[in-house]
Structure 1
Amino acid sequence: MSRIFGPLRQNGFVVKDVERALTHWTDVMGVGPFFLIDDQPLNDFEYRGRPAAPSIRVALAHTGGVQIELIQQTNDEPSAFRDFLRAGHEGLQHVAFWTTAFDADMARARRHGLEVLQSGRSGSGAPDERFAYFTVQDHPGTVIELSETRGRKGALFQAVEEAARTWDGTDPVRPMAALLDRR
């Protein structure tokens, strides 16, 4: 457990081909079901302090106490995801900590010398769906994301985790809308 942010809650993998990654995770790793959205809304997105509009496909699943996030960027807008791939990497790009006290945890991150690399609001764009990725990275896979998990996004993440507990291996990739419609 992080002495700064608490338990690690997500491993975020940046991939070139989300379908190929989904096949690996469901068939080889036995993790699922994944919930896929082909155009993840990103609101008020900033990369290095400037507005940007990356288009990303996202798939979420859960294994144990950790969410698996697969991210494929589909345009060339500035983002940490694009930079990761351009540097020749594919795979674990970030780890995420979840919070219901976003402002306090952002202040704590800054006190520890972390600087925001990219930020915005995900999902519906509600005020309680903020995220921030920090620039500190000693090697690939150690970018830190702080993700606010109150409201609708928190309920969505809980539904992904619940689906994993009872998954019998069938229907391994499902539309994210199936969960959003229930929330």
Structure 2
Amino acid sequence: MSRIFGAVCQNGYVVRDIRAAMDHWITVMGVGPWFFIEAVKTDYFRHRGAASDVKMSIALANSGDLQIELIQQTNEAPSMYKEFLDAGREGLQHMSYWTRDYQGLYDRALGLGYKVGHEGQIGGELGRFAYFDTEAHPGTVVEISDISGNKGRFFEHIKRAAADWDGAEPIRAVR
């Protein structure tokens, strides 16, 4: 438990091949079902303060209370995902903390000296997220994500699906 952010709710993996990554998690780890969004639509996305037209695919599944996110960036736009891959890395890139008081947590993090690496919004104001640049110390990036809107309900649906998953329909396209 973080005294600043609360409990870790998600581990995010940046991958080069999202379909191969889903297959690994399904067949080797037994985790699923995966909710796959091939072309994520962001309302906006900023990398280090500048607008970026990042394109990505994501897949989400739960292992118990922990959500696993797979992210494959599908263009060369600036992002922390691209920086991670360009540094020769692939795998665990961030830990996400979820909140229903996004602005309060965002302001608190900035007040403590955290710097935004990239941030954006999906599905309206209640779908904001920010990744703080914590690479000054080797390790995992910190993300905060607003779950007070539709995203929170979608995440609950994913968690329930995983709890009852019998192995059928391991990849579920989200449109």
Aligned equivalent of 2:173: 175
Unaligned regions of 5+ residues in structure 1, if any?
178-183
Unaligned regions of 5+ residues in structure 2, if any?
none
| Residues 34-183 of structure 1 mapped to structure 2, 5 A cutoff | 34-122=34-122, 124=123, 126-137=124-135, 138-140=137-139, 142-177=140-175
Distance 2:6 2:142 in 1: 13
Distance 1:110 1:51 in 2: 20
User: What's the offset of the Cα at 1:111?
Assistant: 2.2
Look up the equivalent residue of 2:162 and give its one-letter code.
A
Look up the equivalent residue of 2:18 and give its one-letter code.
V
Distance 1:4 1:61 in 2: 25
Aligned equivalent of 1:5: 5
Question: How big is the alpha-carbon RMSD for the aligned residues of Structure 1 and Structure 2?
Answer: 0.8
User: What's the offset of the Cα at 1:44?
Assistant: 1.6
Distance 2:138 2:126 in 1: 30
Aligned equivalent of 2:26: 26
Deviations 1:123-170 (A, max 9, x none): x2x111000000112224x10000000111111111110100000011
Distance 2:112 2:167 in 1: 42
Local SS of the residue matching 1:69: strand
The number of residue pairs the alignment matches comes to 174
TM-score (norm 1): 0.93
